[in-house]
Amino acid sequence: MQKSRLKRIGLLLLLPALVYLAFLSVYPTIYAVLLSGKDVNLARPYKALFVGLGNFFRLFQDDLFLKSIYNTLKIALVSIVLELAVGYVVAEIFDKRLKGMEILRTIYMLPMMVTPVVWGLVWVYIFNPNFGLANYLCDRLGLGFQPWFASADTAIWSLILVNVWQWAPFTAVIFLAGLSGIPATLLDAAAVDGAKWYQVIRYVKFPALKYVAMVVILMRMMDNLRLFDLVYSTTQGGPGSATETMSFFIYRHGFKFFNVGYSSAAAIIVLVMIILLSQLLIRIFYRGGEISE
Amino acid sequence: MRKLIVLGIAVLWGILCLGGAMAQEKPFSGQTLHMIMIADPFVSAFEKINAKFEEITGAKVVMDSYPYDATHEKEVISLAAGTGDYDVIVYDIPWVGEFVEGGFVEELEPYIAKEDPALMAMDDYFPVGVEAGKWKGKVYGLPFGLYFVLTHYRKDLFDQAGVTPPKTIEELKDRAALFTNNPNFPDLYGIAMNYKRGAPVGQAWFEYIWNFGGKYFKGLYPGSTEEDWTPVFDAPESIEVVKFFQEMLQYNPPGAINYAWDERATAFQQGKVAMASTWTVRTPMYWDPSISKVVGKVGTTVFPAKEGLKPVPPVGGWVMGIASSSNNKDLAWEYIKWFCSPAIHREFCAAGGPPSRISTAQDPELTKSSPWYSTILETAPLTYVDCRPRIPESFEIIDVVGLKVSEALQGETSIEQAMSDVQNYVMTLMKRAGYKVK
Amino acid sequence: MNSKSRKTVFRVLIYFLALVFVMISIFPIIWLFFTSLKDRVEIFSIPPVWLPRPKAENYVREFSGNNSRFPFLVNSIQVGLVSTLFTLIIGTLAAYSIARFPAPAKKNIEFWILSVRMMPPVAVIVPLYLIMRSFRFLDKTAGLIVVHIAFNLPFVIWILAGFLRSIPKDVEEAALIDGCSWFQSLWKISLPLAAPGLATTSIFSFMFSWNELLAALVLTGRNAKTLPVAISEYWSNTQIRWEAMAATSMVHVIPIIIVTFLIQRYIVRGLTLGAVKE
């Protein structure tokens, strides 16, 4: 078949997807950009005003928005570090491939398969200061009464705990696959050379997992920056503004106050942040080389 | 042959008429009425009464009820979508401006005008309730669920300590201090208040500001004729209210920093605190022997103001309106006028609803089982309909106050800074919305 | 002898550690299950009731009668199945194009498709609401299906393209030489070979739709509500009905557990496909 005919067929096959995404992903994004230049309320659309970059200026002076950026980054970074650490340890454990591990591994994966809404509510129950399981155990272990979600100091850490609990399995599964991809010959060679286990980890395993880790960091970064469901079903941004994430800020202005213009402007900023951060990460890991994701 | 046909038609016609007459007994049979409302304690009262409506009209009543913020969200989304999901809308008084300006609810005067005045009995409502359901002079909601804040206190403990119920804010502080960490009253705290971020503590600020001699907009106060919407959230009185909240925190049970309406009422009902100023919708809970530990020990008094000031007790609650996008407006009106009629309202209150009609609050039988009605009658004339703002921007304003006050009380910022932030925020908001500010 | 017993100790240690992590992962699910069997009194008791008397009243109450959650379960199933079906159809065609056909600026298109995934859903949800409103698609399962397909497509295309690329070209080329059209080659050769990939992506697609909250929250109302939304409605400032929430949640979670066990190998393959260079 001629190349041009192939090209045409190829394009034809691609067309439905492109058209679909154009209408339902690109168009809404452009719409959001247009909205961000207006001061408009969903309940009173006839009073819309064009304000250009006004919303963006207001955002950068909005304490709550700036706090939400800080909170989101804090949650994202701490969560990722913990997920990598826990994920690696668990991957090493399951990599030993003992009998019956596959079932255990499957059970370990369950948290990430369930919708965060359910986990939010379950953990709110567990973390309830008065009749929750967590404080009951803390009391028995002599650790005393913890406020968990109820105090501005501990709320964000409780949120991070739940987040890591849910997603460490994701990291573990990917690391596990990465570990199993290391050629046995390499490990044998290291053993022959008399390398200790920590040297093996540092000089053989870590380099082998570098690409995998980058993908994990990238994906978890994107997910953590968009964190919403968990906040919605646990703290709703409180106490005070301790757990206000960027997505929740956007939601508050969009669906509690219905200031959809202001909300869209915040959303655009978040989108730009995600794009810049992922570009930055890719560049850090790949100084120059081409990636096929 | 012809005669048979004529006879047959006559018989058929007769049957149809009879059938028609039977069907007419239930004018709306087969139809469904959809209501959306707040999940407040009166939901169970609604369910009992709705069953009656179904019997009378043949229409099924389906109620969707939600917590506070979710009710606002779902109502606005549904009404702005215009999909006709709901017919009867139960909405909070601070949302009246927003809903009317958004074209969400129908003007009710044309419907009221067609009805028997005795059935509507508009004069029988507490006047502040009718005002609350009005916007720019027109009625958009009937005040079926008017709430007042009464100060509830433990008669038995007060008698034991030999003190009188608080008449002023200063006395309130004293009583709260007296009952906290008092060896004579173990396991007891002085008071339970709302502190949770958002509407709970936000609304609380508006409830107290008048009783500290303050206000939130320069030109908005009882009897005002001036049009001045300049916010005054950084005035000395405004700051004083937050300082009061902070001071009272020590007289609240631990964990009060997250108290909302339900937690503070539960604390009182479980006997953990000596006082609680709560909305009348929850008062029946304290008299319910199946859940309350303080039955027979509760007294009520009018909401206190600072020494020398006349009390302006908070008034609030819910109004019932017809959704503009409803496809069943006639059925919706049937329900509303029936539900709000004096007879049915009385039944509603007997089942635990908050009395919104003067006749109901004076009803001798109900007053016997609900002694707090006398305090309601005392309270109602003192109230001010705009004690919480009802303009379209009010949800956001209350939420911002609730956020900043909560941050100040959590120690994330100073009280002065918090109220200054609120002032800037609301000032910008009012200017953008086109209000006259100076 | 010595090294053998050391090996055993090591193995025991590994099993123990694995069990610890597994217990941490699974106890909230177990707790959720037992909570769904409790009544109000047992919910609030201290010390916590570990093993309540089994009773199904929570399930019965939440899934029957006037306020039944059952229609929402049906909605969730419907939205999941239909959106997965269409995502697969559109996605497979697109993935095949990317994997096998020379198209202009292929690499860019691929990256662009993936970057759509970066979009925080909160950002586009308002425009989507307004779009759906003007097409009168609000509070209809069709509306939610349309949006879920849009959210799922990028990921599905990405994974399927990877799968299709990894199939050796010779088999297809042989078929083409034998006179098959490209469509026959796709249908009879490539798709069957890519079956594991199709299985993986349909599972991910369905799970995403099953678990999705935000779009369902905003775009559906009384009629088209899905289970996650119904579950989120249990959250409140006031007394949460834990036992009811637990029952509804279990109904949502049990299919996930079953599916996870059945196809866990595919899940692992799917997750690692993009991450690990085979």
Q: How far is A39 from chain C (nearest CA, A)?
A: 14
A43, B407: Cβ pair inside 8 Å?
Answer: no
A14 domain residue, yes or no: no
Chains near A (3 or more Cβ pairs under 8 Å): B, C
Q: Give per-residue pLDDT as tens, B332-341.
A: 999 999 999 9
Q: Are strands B32-38 and B273-279 parallel, antiparallel or unpaired?
A: unpaired
Q: How many beta-carbon contacts under 8 Å exist across A and B?
A: 72
C91 domain residue, yes or no: yes
CA dihedral C251, A125, A154, B275 (to 10 degrees): 140
Q: What percent of chain B has pLDDT over 90?
A: 70
Q: Give per-residue pLDDT as tens, B378-427.
A: 999 999 999 999 999 999 999 999 999 998 998 888 999 999 999 999 99
Closest CA to B330 of B121, B111, B86: B111
Contacts of C236 in chain B (CB under 8 A): 39, 66-67, 70
C171 domain residue, yes or no: yes
Sign, CA dihedral A47-A52-A57-A63, equals positive
> How far does Cα A77 stand from its chain's mean position?
10
A35 domain residue, yes or no: no
Chain A residues 144-203 with a CB less than 8 Å from chain C? 165, 169-170, 173-174, 176-178, 181
A106, C260: Cβ pair inside 8 Å?
Answer: yes
- Taking CA–CA distances from A267, the nearest residue in chain C reads C123
pLDDT of residue A57: 92
Q: At what angle do helices C121-134 and B68-81 cross, to 10 degrees?
A: 40
- Taking CA–CA distances from C139, the nearest residue in chain B reads B83
C61 domain residue, yes or no: no
Q: Are strands B32-38 and B60-66 parallel, antiparallel or unpaired?
A: parallel
What ipTM was assigned to the predicted interfaces of this complex?
0.82
Question: In this predicted structure, which of A145-154, B86-95, B383-392 has the lowest mean pLDDT?
Answer: A145-154
| pLDDT average, residue stretch C116-136 | 82
Q: By 3-state DSSP, what share of chain A in percent is helix, strand and coil, each rounded to 5?
A: 75, 0, 25
pLDDT of residue A291: 44
Of B67, B70, B83, the CB nearest to C221: B83
Residue C86 structure tokens: 């269409």
Give the span between the Cα atoms of B408 and B423, in whole angstroms: 14
Residue C204 — φ and ψ, nearest 5°?
-60, -40
pLDDT of residue C106: 62
A43 domain residue, yes or no: no
Give the span between the Cα atoms of C146 and B340, in whole angstroms: 43
Range of the domain at C229: 66-271
Which pLDDT band holds residue A275 (cuts at 50, 70, 90)? confident
**Residues C105 and C205 both lie in one domain:** yes
**Residues C212 and C238 both lie in one domain:** yes
A120 domain residue, yes or no: yes
B412, A257: Cβ pair inside 8 Å?
Answer: no
Give the span between the Cα atoms of C269 and C200, in whole angstroms: 8
Contacts of B101 in chain A (CB under 8 A): 43-44
Please report, as a single letter, which amino acid is at residue A196: K
Judge whether B2-140+315-373 and B148-313+385-433 match in fold. Answer: yes
**Residues C51 and C97 both lie in one domain:** no
φ/ψ region of C177 (left if φ > 0, alpha if ψ in -120 to 50, else beta) reads alpha
Give the span between the Cα atoms of B95 and A258, in whole angstroms: 13
Task: Give the Cα-Cα-Cα angle C30, C35, C39 (nearest 5 degrees).
Answer: 155
Could you tell me which residues of chain B have a Cβ less than 8 Å from any Cβ in chain C? 34, 39, 62, 64, 66-70, 74, 77-78, 80-83, 85-86, 196, 200, 260-263, 266
Residue B204 — φ and ψ, nearest 5°?
-60, -40
C277 domain residue, yes or no: no
Chain A residues 7-36 with a CB less than 8 Å from chain B? none
**Residues C149 and C262 both lie in one domain:** yes
Superfamily of domain B148-313+385-433: Periplasmic binding protein-like II (3.40.190.10)
C46, A136: Cβ pair inside 8 Å?
Answer: yes
Give the span between the Cα atoms of B241 and B208, in whole angstroms: 7
pLDDT of residue B203: 95
Chains near B (3 or more Cβ pairs under 8 Å): A, C
**Residues C32 and C150 both lie in one domain:** no
Q: Is B407 on the interface with A (CB under 8 A)?
A: yes
Question: In this predicted structure, which of A80-84, A220-224, C207-211 has the lowest mean pLDDT?
Answer: A220-224
Q: Are strands B60-66 and B298-302 parallel, antiparallel or unpaired?
A: unpaired
Sequential DSSP letters for B75-91: HHHHHHHT----SEEEE
A187 domain residue, yes or no: yes
Contacts of C138 in chain B (CB under 8 A): 81, 83
| pLDDT average, residue stretch A31-57 | 88
A44 domain residue, yes or no: no
Q: Give per-residue pLDDT as tens, C162-209.
A: 777 777 777 777 777 777 777 777 777 777 777 777 888 888 899 889
Chain A residues 48-87 with a CB less than 8 Å from chain C? none
Residue B213: which residues within 8 A CB-CB, separation 6 or more?
Answer: B237, B305, B306, B309
Q: Is B282 on the interface with A (CB under 8 A)?
A: no
Contacts of B395 in chain A (CB under 8 A): 256-257
Give the span between the Cα atoms of A45 and A40, in whole angstroms: 6
B266, C139: Cβ pair inside 8 Å?
Answer: no
The answer to whether B54 touches B108, Cβ cutoff 8 Å, is no
Interface test with B, best of A149, A251, A255 (most B CBs within 10 A): A255
Domain holding A264: CATH number? 1.10.3720.10
Domain holding C73: CATH number? 1.10.3720.10
- Taking CA–CA distances from C265, the nearest residue in chain A reads A106
C60 domain residue, yes or no: no
Structure letter (DSSP) for residue C138: T
Helix and strand counts by DSSP (H, E) for chain B: 20, 10
Please report, as a single letter, which amino acid is at residue C142: A
Interface test with B, best of A64, A128, A244, A262 (most B CBs within 10 A): A64
The answer to whether C274 touches C257, Cβ cutoff 8 Å, is no
Class of domain B2-140+315-373: alpha beta
Interface test with A, best of B74, B76, B417 (most A CBs within 10 A): B76
Interface test with C, best of B64, B72, B77 (most C CBs within 10 A): B77
Chains near C (3 or more Cβ pairs under 8 Å): A, B
According to the per-residue pLDDT averaged within each range, which of A9-23, A273-287, B150-164, C111-125 is highest? B150-164
C278 domain residue, yes or no: no
The answer to whether B215 touches B323, Cβ cutoff 8 Å, is no
Contacts of B76 in chain A (CB under 8 A): 42-43, 258
Residue A22: which residues within 8 A CB-CB, separation 6 or more?
Answer: none
**Residues C132 and C42 both lie in one domain:** no
The answer to whether B358 touches B125, Cβ cutoff 8 Å, is yes
Report in angstroms the alpha-carbon separations of C113 from A214, C95, C160, C212: 20, 11, 13, 20
| pLDDT average, residue stretch B153-169 | 93
Q: What percent of chain B has pLDDT over 70?
A: 96
A275, C31: Cβ pair inside 8 Å?
Answer: no
Q: How far is C159 from chain A (nearest CA, A)?
A: 10
Give the span between the Cα atoms of B393 and B72, in whole angstroms: 13
Q: How many beta-carbon contacts under 8 Å exist across A and C?
A: 277
Range of the domain at A73: 56-289
Contacts of A39 in chain B (CB under 8 A): 432
Contacts of C139 in chain B (CB under 8 A): 78, 81, 83, 85
> With 90 as the cut, is the pLDDT of residue B19 above it?
no
pLDDT of residue C18: 87
The answer to whether C221 touches B74, Cβ cutoff 8 Å, is yes
Q: How far is C66 from chain A (nearest CA, A)?
A: 23
Contacts of C120 in chain A (CB under 8 A): 225-226, 228, 246-247, 250, 267, 270-271, 274
Report in angstroms the alpha-carbon separations of C189 from A274, C67, C85, C91: 39, 50, 20, 17
C96 domain residue, yes or no: yes
**Residues C201 and C164 both lie in one domain:** yes
Closest CA to B216 of B392, B432, B429, B423: B423
**Residues C51 and C71 both lie in one domain:** no
Burial class of B435 by CB neighbour count within 10 A (0 to 12, 13 to 18, 19+): middle
Residue B369: which residues within 8 A CB-CB, separation 6 or more?
Answer: B287
A15 domain residue, yes or no: no
Which pLDDT band holds residue C77 (cuts at 50, 70, 90)? very high
Number of domains in chain C: 2
Residue A85 — φ and ψ, nearest 5°?
-65, -55
> With 50 as the cut, is the pLDDT of residue A292 above it?
no
Contacts of A252 in chain B (CB under 8 A): 399
> With 90 as the cut, is the pLDDT of residue A139 above it?
no
Three-class SS state of B321: strand
**pLDDT higher for C134 or C274?**
C134
Of B80, B101, B410, the CB nearest to A239: B410
C216 domain residue, yes or no: yes
Of C111, C120, C235, the CB nearest to A270: C120
The domain segmentation of chain B, as residue ranges, is 2-140+315-373, 148-313+385-433
- Taking CA–CA distances from B77, the nearest residue in chain A reads A255
Contacts of C118 in chain A (CB under 8 A): 222, 271, 274-275, 278
**Residues C10 and C118 both lie in one domain:** no
Number of domains in chain A: 1
Q: Give per-residue pLDDT as tens, C245-270.
A: 888 999 999 988 888 888 877 777 76
A151, B80: Cβ pair inside 8 Å?
Answer: no
- Taking CA–CA distances from A216, the nearest residue in chain C reads C275
Which pLDDT band holds residue C35 (cuts at 50, 70, 90)? confident
